[in-house]
Structure 1
Amino acid sequence: MPPKKEKKEQFKGDQASEMIFEYLEQQNRPYSAADVSSNLHNAVTKATATKILKEMHESGQIEGRVSGKQIVYHAIQSPTENSSEEDLKAMDEEIEGIKAETAALKASIKAAHASLAALKSTPSIDALNDSIEVVEAEAAALEETLKGLRAVSETPVADPATRAAAEKEYAFLEKEYARRRKQFREFWGMVCDGYEGDVKELWENAGLEGDMI
């Protein structure tokens, strides 16, 4: 058979009254009879607590008020217990400190949101790799074109019109290459700004060759 639960001692009369009165003074907040009985771990039954609280309220020992469908009771506040000027000043200082802390937290949250927005707008590694592949392909094509242009320039006899067209195309390709290189630098700079690790390692992991731009 399971062991019998030990029956807790329950108080009545003066002992229960003293226990309830001391509890209300210590907690300094309103409670119903059910709350008092429960918080005292049923040392005073709900019925006893209801009777004692009503009697103490009627005798002026405690104060009570209706809250919904029940009555809540609390200890009477003594005028001598009012906060002193020093206490009020300390409370004001504490409030100002909390306000300052709240403002600092709001600023931190705003900065965090800004950082998050910047990270979201930063191109992903996959997008950067795609851009790198495009730039590398265009660079290879430009190199082949450049070789052809050099071969043309080394020809002893060149048609002036052909040479002028080749030089114009070379200038265009050189400008386009510079533009693409600048675009890649901007992409890489955005990635590095939002990356907290080793940038050189990121360059190698991305499959890029040569020195970092």
Structure 2
Amino acid sequence: MAGEAVLKYLTDTNRPYSCADVTTNLRGTYTKTAVQKALDSLAEVGKIKCKLYGKQKVYAAIQLDNTDGDSDIEDYDNQLKNLMQSITDSTNTLKTAEINLKNLTSAPTTEAAINEIEEIKKRLENHEIKLNNLRSSTEIINPVEKNKILNDFDKFFKEYRKRKRICNDMLEAILEGYPKSKKTLLEELCIETDEMVNFKIVTNSY
């Protein structure tokens, strides 16, 4: 009968098992339904113990000649709790490592960043030279060309403000769960704000 086989297996192994474990370890001799009925019946008559872990029932034989049976079950209970906490800690550590890895792989290399900065500096110098020439020039600009320049300026200025707003929104969203100050976050991300570098856009009326 399934009851005798289940009781013998739990007694011989002297370890707690779920219904699925017992069914598998009996190598399919009895169906899972038959094993479950046998476990419930044995628990009702007090031949085995049943403990509930979440939604899963775990069964263990009562060893009449071993007074350490209850402490063994408590040990397994504590081991399970410790393992669950360890899994939770490891999962959180993994998530943090994945975020850091993503940030590192998406950031430019130091060499690439230096080259980009140098390129921007050269472009800025050329624009400043051109701007100074225009300011000191007495040449009258064609109205069509002037309108095009002004329209381009408006377009680029709006895009600049839009991107700056998006960047600020992203930083504020990160800061909601960031344990340090905004200044520390900016330093870690190697970000410089307009205010930090004294960057201002001249918007004289025209």
Normalised by the length of structure 2, the TM-score is 0.41
Normalised by the length of structure 1, the TM-score is 0.40
Q: Which has the higher contact order (CA 8 A, sep 6+)?
A: 1
Query: Looking at CA atoms only, which structure, 1 or 2, has the larger radius of gyration?
Result: 1
